[in-house]
Amino acid sequence: MSKNAPSRRKRSSLNVLTIAGVTPYQRKSNEEYMSVDQLLHFKCILETWKNQLKKDVEYSILCTQDQASINFPDPVDRAVQEEEFNIKLRNRDREHKLIEKIEKTLKKIDMNEFGFCTSCGVEIGIRRLEARPTANLCIDCKTLEEIKEKQTTG
């Protein structure tokens, strides 16, 4: 792992928190993991993130519709327009998948199943969840999963 990796993780965490307009959660002494306050904190982050993504998708659709009506006579310009359109479609698809993942995570919060590793059952951790609110695995299980993926693809 490079020496810049921790700062990237921190930046990622701050981006999600900034989108939601919240500060990092300050755990109270003797507070139980995934207390009502913590669940509300993450619900706020996830709902705000989902709403922002939906706005981005709507804006992207409007822009694409406007640009699709332009007919470029030059084949190179048309090719560039088509490539930009394909990139926007891929991005929109990723955003839709992320919205679905956020909605699944919100359901987990409602069912009090949020914050625990789906593989081993341990706490995922507040800071990890702030960096990646849709995380299903603790850092150890995620690391093992990535190692297995590298071994099968490498």
Half-sphere exposure of 88 toward its Cβ, with a 13 Å CA cutoff? 18
Domain assignment present for residue 140? The answer is no
Domain assignment present for residue 47? The answer is yes
pTM of the model: 0.78
Domain assignment present for residue 93? The answer is yes
* Count of structural domains, the chain: 1
For residue 53, the domain's CATH number is: 1.20.120.910
Domain assignment present for residue 139? The answer is no
Encode pLDDT of 61-120 as tens digits: 887 777 767 777 888 988 888 898 899 889 999 999 999 999 999 999 999 999 999 999
Candidates 43, 50, 41; CA nearest to 19 is: 50
Where in the sequence is the domain holding 110, given as residue range(s)? 11-20+32-115
Domain assignment present for residue 82? The answer is yes
Domain assignment present for residue 136? The answer is no
What confidence score (pLDDT) does residue 128 get? 96
Domain assignment present for residue 123? The answer is no
Half-sphere exposure of 77 toward its Cβ, with a 13 Å CA cutoff? 7
Domain assignment present for residue 79? The answer is yes
Encode pLDDT of 122-144 as tens digits: 999 999 999 999 999 999 999 99
